[in-house]
Amino acid sequence: MTVEELMKYMLNLFNNTSDDLHKEYEKLSKKDMELSDLDHYIENHTLKSYELAKVGRLRKTLREERREIKNNIEMIEVIKKFTDKYNNKLITGDIIQNLKEQGILKKRQESPTYKYRTSILNRLEAKDGNISNRSTEI
């Protein structure tokens, strides 16, 4: 992972943890509604044993998916405690500023320019072609 990628990851962590948590809670709610629908289906229909087995497998799959979502929620809540404690405009502003500076440096390093401070290059441009014997005033 490059420094730039790390900084982007940190910015995402501070800015999007709450959104990620909200999305996981929405997934959990949807899974709960699916389980409720399945329970009402069982309640309202007379099912044969192979149909009950099919419903049971589906219910087990839904419960496993729900558990995975709940585990994600627990993990994100731990991260959110950290980001809530340290997240402020100074940190995210500093990260954004750092990313901008890295972009400027990258551009400058990809096409470097140099302003010559002496007239030493005049020797290269001398008409007689003799580089080593000419002196220049500095």
**pLDDT at residue number 2:** 84
CA distance 59 to 48: 16
Model confidence at 129, in pLDDT bands (50, 70, 90)?
low
How many structural domains comprise the chain? Answer: 1
For residue 69, count CB atoms less than 10 angstroms from its CB and return exposed for 0-12, middle for 13-18, buried for 19 or more: buried
Span 18-68, pLDDT tens digits: 999 999 999 999 999 999 999 999 999 999 999 999 999 999 999 999 999
CA dihedral (37, 38, 39, 44) positive or negative: positive
Cβ atoms within 10 Å of 26's Cβ, excluding its own: 11
**Residue with structure tokens 């502003």?**
93
**pLDDT at residue number 62:** 97
Residue 133 lies in a domain: no
**What mean pLDDT is predicted for residues 13-18?**
88
Residue 21 lies in a domain: yes
User: What is the DSSP code (8-state) at residue 111?
Assistant: S
Span 72-112, pLDDT tens digits: 999 999 999 888 887 777 788 888 888 899 888 888 888 88
Residue 138 lies in a domain: no
Nearest CA-CA partner of 98 in 10, 16, 15: 10
Q: Domain containing 21: what range? A: 3-87
**pLDDT at residue number 26:** 98
**pLDDT at residue number 94:** 87
Query: CA 48, 53, 57: angle at the middle one, nearest 5?
Result: 150
Query: CA 52, 57, 58: angle at the middle one, nearest 5?
Result: 95
Residue 101 lies in a domain: no
Residue 17 lies in a domain: yes
Residue 103 lies in a domain: no
Residue 39 lies in a domain: yes
Residue 123 lies in a domain: no
